Structure 1
């Protein structure tokens, strides 16, 4: 290399490389991108977000029954997310697996047996990734943070029957459907605790069937008249004399 070229190379100043400029997106822009590209938040995310607003106990006037039994129309739903770490092999690690579970709890005073107070746990959804991607569902943030809320019992039974038919719940499908069928039947055992209701349901001692009259359906005067009429009947008198002979 000639001295002239060597002097030119030594006289050049090497500036450090500038990092590539990244465009910063606002949370609103990210939310719009997730909605357009991935369809997020999903209907399941919206349902959980809306349901968490009803975490408190329902009021007595929010049900479908009557009197003091309106609270029995609601059940407690518990959702939780279980995270399974990906396997690590040397310098590489597999993505994590997130699974969303749902368990339904009946009110203790609903009238059902203790066996039916808690439903089988069903899988609502699953996701594979790190959890920080833009395509990650919103329910991934519930890891190690179970949440409970209240929902009408009829709505949850329909929801469980839908998810019981999915492939993830194939092993629990029969148990879930059996539980839904059992609790879908109304239980009126808690109604017997109210004297005002049971007083109108008490059985009558009178026999109201018109085709057959019993002594229990007659008053004292009517029974005496009937007895006198039978004693005066000729057929009855002749039969009684035969028995005495």
Structure 2
């Protein structure tokens, strides 16, 4: 996995910056991600744009970033507030540039202003263990960047890089959501519901299947040897 293997580079850089060997980083999760309008606070995000197209967004939870920044800047007194300073965000940007360089050479990236992302991209969280503190670095790749990297790595003479990235995408675990039933009731009835009330529901003959907000296809739920199974409809389109 391209991101997982590169965490060693981040660990090495953090140890050098903080002059401590009591810090390490490792990949926590990589998954498909559907962007929504209000999921990121633009003033707290470090954003980089690839010269061919697409953006990568990096942000670190405030407690972790403050701990890293206080160590980096050799602060004498621990802060009592979690409000981030411009110095904190500069360190986050420095870390973000390292993460971006895992995916493409540093000269292919430029710091840019935050813009809302749309569509489905990738999300990765990196676990950071620093002395007695544990925190997370969050990384999001927009849809255009995933397309750009896939195309460019396909043209790379180093086939191993392309296959590593391709394998990372194909091995990403996704959470399928299946809507089995639905019920429309007046709000007054909903507010009047009590514990142990019985609410009749309507089972759907054709159930929608989705990842996040993205609808994929419809299917039918049936019993198979005492276990509920999902049968895909004949009109399901191929993902290839």
Same fold (TM over 0.5): no
TM-score by length of 2: 0.22
Higher relative contact order, structure no. (Cα contacts within 8 Å, ≥ 6 residues apart): 2
Structure of higher CA gyration radius: 1
TM-score by length of 1: 0.22
Normalized per residue, the structure richer in strand is: 2
